[in-house]
């Protein structure tokens, strides 16, 4: 009977699940931020590439 009562009071499994859920939530947040920053950075490099492509043309008459 004591073993059953001790098992019912044990919260280590619940704590592990809570830590797992917190880690999963943090992971999802990090992934979404990195994806957003990556897309923004890609657009910025695309604009720079487009600007540099036009700047490298030789002037007419040379």
pTM: 0.55
42/49 Cα distance (integer angstroms): 10
HSE, side-chain direction, 13 A CA sphere, residue 31 = 6
The C-alpha atoms of residue 42 and residue 48 are separated, in whole angstroms, by 10
* Predicted pLDDT at 61: 57
- Per-residue model confidence (pLDDT) at position 58: 58
pLDDT in tens, the chain (62 residues): 787 677 667 777 778 889 999 999 999 999 999 999 998 999 999 999 988 887 765 565 55
Q: How far lies 10's CA from each of 15, 21, 23, in Å? A: 10, 19, 22
């Amino acid at each position: 009977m004591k073993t059953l009562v001790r098992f019912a009071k044990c919260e280590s499994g619940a704590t592990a699940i809570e830590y797992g859920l917190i880690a999963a939530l943090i992971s999802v947040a990090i992934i979404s931020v990195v994806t957003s920053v990556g897309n923004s950075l890609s657009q910025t490099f695309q604009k720079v590439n487009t600007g540099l492509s036009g700047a490298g043309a030789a002037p007419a008459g040379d």
